[in-house]
Structure 1
Amino acid sequence: MTVPMTAVRTGAARRVLPYGVPDGALRLFCLPHAGASASVFRPWIGRLPGVAVCPLQPPGREGRLAEPQHERMEPLADEFARAVRQVLDGGSQPYAVYGHSLGALVGYEVVRRIRDLGGPAPVHLFVSGCGAPDRSAETGPRVSTMSDAQIAALMSRLGGTPPGLLAEPSLLRMFLPPFRADFVVKENYAYRPGRPLAVPVTALAATADPRVGPGDMEAWAGHTAGPFRLHTLTGGHFAVLEQAAVTHRHIAEALRGGIAC
């Protein structure tokens, strides 16, 4: 499918938005999970009628491979917030934010930064695969200090990574640096209490997610003064990506009619 695109011409936004901005009445900025790149959301482009799916690219991968990766949330969220604001046309076009796993936490912080800078609020925030910010602290061994074999075992338990990649040391060595770097961001993250977002929030949980329990997803309700809705998909940590059609339906319903769907 060929999707009409609008080129992104400003420097910071051009690096962060590798696919430009597809045509659509509403822009949906998508933030990937730990170790992933913007391409994980590329199959979504053109699949949500009237919605311009805009995957955001973290540094240190794909077209940004030569750029140093962030080790703290603040500069990562600041970079994405600046890029989003640059393509909002002065706030004249509505937008929403979707983040999975680490991307959910980053998306939340991006929305907070835009708010604190006086920018326009999104019409919706979608989160999946990550506990609420005040319940997202990592417990147990630090992933960022695990051996390659330990990380491969963790990725196998989580699913979402082709077994062939995990079994091939040369490919694994290419994939592990952004995964480690993203977990440094996650493990360094410290929630800063503040006023709730004035934004509707939809959380997507999974029945067999080994890292996030239903209560951790339900706790997102405490971070919005707007409506909240929780949907549960059958499957593991990557159910929202593996069942993209279901995820798209929940997104479309929320954007079309609020959460009273």
Structure 2
Amino acid sequence: MTTALRAPAAATAWFPFAEHPGSVGPRLYCLPHAGGSASAFRSWFGRIGEVSVRPVQPPGRETRLRETPYREMDRLVADLADAVLADLVDEGPAGGPVRPYAVYGHSLGALEAFELVREIRRRGGPDPLHLFVSGCGAPGDDPDADEPPIGAMSDEQVVALLRRIGGTPEWMLGDPSVLRMILPPFRADFAVKESHAPRAEPPLAVPVTALAADGDARTGTAGMAGWERHTTGPFQAYTLSGGHFAVLEQAGVTQRYIARALWGA
């Protein structure tokens, strides 16, 4: 692990928060759930030892509110891979060494994280130290196949779905002006998920940790087990108590699993 101090990495559109001082370890790129934003992981700064938490900001929300959200997985991960590969090179007049990194994704972010790692592999880029996934069945598994697509739902049906999933404050769901902001990126994110057809490629050679929640109505513990077939590396599964957002509501538990996977802490 690199221990020399260096200037914090600059904020960019994809990574809106400057790197936390003292974060000289691997970078952890964190991809949020459908409709979510980089702020979901901001409280993680400085909570996983020297790991540099790099929350990913998709367009169409917060600091990128005026940008059009993606509706296709391939375009999203291609642009995100450009940003990650550039971000991995330490700053300096002649560039620097490529930083070790890991990727974490929750819900839709888990599928995006998986496809991001595969896109980087296709380009001949460095494998991550680890892939962490939660709140989403493995690629090729579709526990929501019997549900109507989000694009066919009315706003009222989408709001009811958000209430069932949890994680969105009621005051937001009851405010029409707020709904006008949050529903378009949520619908776009589900278009990414519902149109996703994973390519037939060899499994990753990357350790994978899957975090499940025993009360997750969308993806229970059985749904997370399928991730094992997508790696030839070590696979570990853990179960938290709670619903779909247990990994964020119990961030300290999630962070301990990440630290344990990265260096046995």
TM-score of the pair, normalised by structure 1: 0.92
**Counterpart among 223, 243, 261 of residue 250 in structure 2:** 243
Query: What letter is aligned with 2:14?
Result: V
RMSD: 1.6
1:56 counterpart residue number: 56
Query: What letter is aligned with 1:251?
Result: I
- CA–CA distance in 2 between the matches of 1:5 and 1:58? 25
8 Å contact from structure 1 (residues 138, 187) kept in 2:
no
Deviation at 1:249, TM superposition (A): 0.7
8 Å contact from structure 2 (residues 143, 218) kept in 1:
no
SS of residue in 1 equivalent to 2:110? helix
Q: 2:222 matched to 1:252? A: no
**Counterpart among 206, 229, 247 of residue 236 in structure 2:** 229
Query: What letter is aligned with 1:134?
Result: G
1:6 counterpart residue number: 8
8 Å contact from structure 2 (residues 37, 58) kept in 1:
yes
Q: Deviations over 1:159-212 (max 9, x none)?
A: 111111112222122111110110011111112121010100000000011111
Higher share of residues assigned helix: 1
**Counterpart among 92, 95, 99 of residue 105 in structure 2:** 99
How many pairs align? 251
- CA–CA distance in 1 between the matches of 2:143 and 2:167? 22
SS of residue in 1 equivalent to 2:13? helix
SS of residue in 2 equivalent to 1:222? helix
SS of residue in 2 equivalent to 1:15? coil
Q: Deviations over 1:130-156 (max 9, x none)?
A: 000111474121112211111111111
Please give the residue correspondences for 1:207-222 in structure 2 after superposition, counting only pairs within 5 Å. Answer: 207-222=214-229
8 Å contact from structure 2 (residues 143, 219) kept in 1:
no
2:93 counterpart residue number: none
Give the 4+ runs in structure 1 shifted more than 4 A.
none
Query: What letter is aligned with 2:120?
Result: I
- CA–CA distance in 1 between the matches of 2:179 and 2:166? 15
- CA–CA distance in 2 between the matches of 1:5 and 1:164? 40
2:86 counterpart residue number: 86
TM-score of the pair, normalised by structure 2: 0.91
Q: Deviations over 1:208-242 (max 9, x none)?
A: 11111322200000000100000000100000000
Sequence identity percentage: 56
SS of residue in 1 equivalent to 2:140? helix
**Counterpart among 160, 166, 172 of residue 159 in structure 1:** 166
8 Å contact from structure 1 (residues 206, 235) kept in 2:
yes
**Counterpart among 205, 209, 224 of residue 212 in structure 2:** 205
Runs of at least 5 residues in structure 1 that lack an aligned partner in the other structure = none
